[in-house]
Chains A and B, each alone.
Chain A
């Protein structure tokens, strides 16, 4: 297993309420991208051919469609619940503008993409959260889509593969968003109690209310190298405790060491491993 001895600059400024400023979506017209780890300029074409992983091992962020494209068999993805849209249940100031710019930036309707697909020939339900839509924060739409996917998977006796990336609960929807943690967890529990398989892949960053709900509820929990994963934001912890954070705090490697993930798996190895795990856990015949 490859371990990375570098620690990326702390970027977990995400708090439970979710970061409101959006990260920069990769611009296809840009010829190259600077690697934040090895500082080399890498041609976009080279990155694309290598699952957006730098030769030094640094995993660049992927949007939800890239993620699904990378992991599923060509042409097998069928999207579900596309009609689910954002809502503004507590009429929060400035929320509409945030949504509009998130839609513009991500070209998605909301913070998660769900559907069915084949991975190496194995059928499954799949969701991938969208980092460019308000950092995958969970409001009612995200909660509704994830819940609906688990209900669909339970009904059809299918495994679920989920890629998480989230700043946590979406503050702008108040308690409506907090309660999505209970709603999604309930659907995961029913899927679990039906004897069905759920695999999560924690990607950078997975924090707050998503960590404290469906991200941590997988039968098998994988993580991408050096992803930031935690409950409370690192900066908040630093401010509250006034202590220096240990090296590598809230990284995948930290979670592995403390017993909260099963394995750290680089992007290149994910498809093969997930295919095997799905095959082992196929329950459609009610075995």
Chain B
């Protein structure tokens, strides 16, 4: 069974799709990459630094899958270790200190799954980001450019604005994982993709994201130029908001998900 949702999953995962670094090079005028979490290591799955968006200094943090086979291996195919999340948080706190807005680019099948990742507190690292991003005193826009896998993606997506590319996906669990739990058969991933409601359109309809970016000209100059101006306009609007209002709106945006009346 082929489904439209699973076609999007395949597209989002495709090797021929631009990766986060392509976006960084095309959208920003200058990019200075910074390495390391200042605690243990530098995780290649997370690429971050200072950039100029037109004339505006911003902090860019991205999850990068890599392009060549060698690079993909070095970047763990875009599955961040705890150090990746801690590097991201370090750069976010630095952005807050200097009043720089933050732009996150997300493309990951999920947080790295391994013995070392558990030893160094993968869960704790993600939890820390969720808490700190909720009150980060600077505007944050997160853009899903490919895969958005579970908590490992959410750890960079507690933002004032969350956008998804038309073929990007965002899901609580991979369709394969879901199928193997539901039907003990991971080959039924395409059915699972449908029921999980993981497309950009689904997320938009459910009110989780504010914008779906069309992909007709993906990878072309016009595409990056369009996205760049969307970012500039939106960032200007967010910077005009009083900080208190910005943070209250950010809180309420997540607070309202699945909210019920309580006494």
Contact = CB atoms under 8 A, between A and B. Distances in A.
Interface stretch (B52-60, B62-70, B229-237, B249-257): B249-257
A180 B150 CA distance: 12
Interface string B236-263: 0000000000000001001101111111
B197 A231 contact: no
The winner among A89, A186, A214, A217 for most chain B CB atoms within 10 A is: A186
Contacts of A259: 121
Contacts, number: 199
B196 interface: yes
Interface in A230-279: 230-232, 236-237, 240-241, 243, 245-246, 249-250, 254, 258-260
Contact of B151 (A186, A192, A212): A212
Interface string A61-94: 0000000000000000000110111010110111
Contact of A240 (B114, B155, B178): B114
A50 B10 CA distance: 54
28 contacts: A16-B110, A80-B262, A83-B260, A84-B262, A140-B258, A140-B260, A169-B172, A173-B258, A174-B172, A175-B206, A178-B171, A181-B154, A182-B130, A182-B158, A185-B127, A185-B158, A189-B131, A190-B135, A190-B251, A212-B151, A213-B130, A213-B151, A231-B118, A232-B118, A237-B115, A240-B113, A243-B115, A258-B119
Given A16-B150, A174-B198, A175-B170, 11 more contacts: A15-B177, A93-B195, A148-B262, A169-B150, A188-B131, A212-B127, A213-B130, A231-B122, A240-B113, A240-B114, A254-B119
Interface of B: 110-111, 113-115, 117-124, 126-128, 130-132, 134-135, 150-151, 154-155, 157-158, 170-173, 177-178, 181-182, 195-198, 202-203, 206, 208, 251, 254-255, 257-263
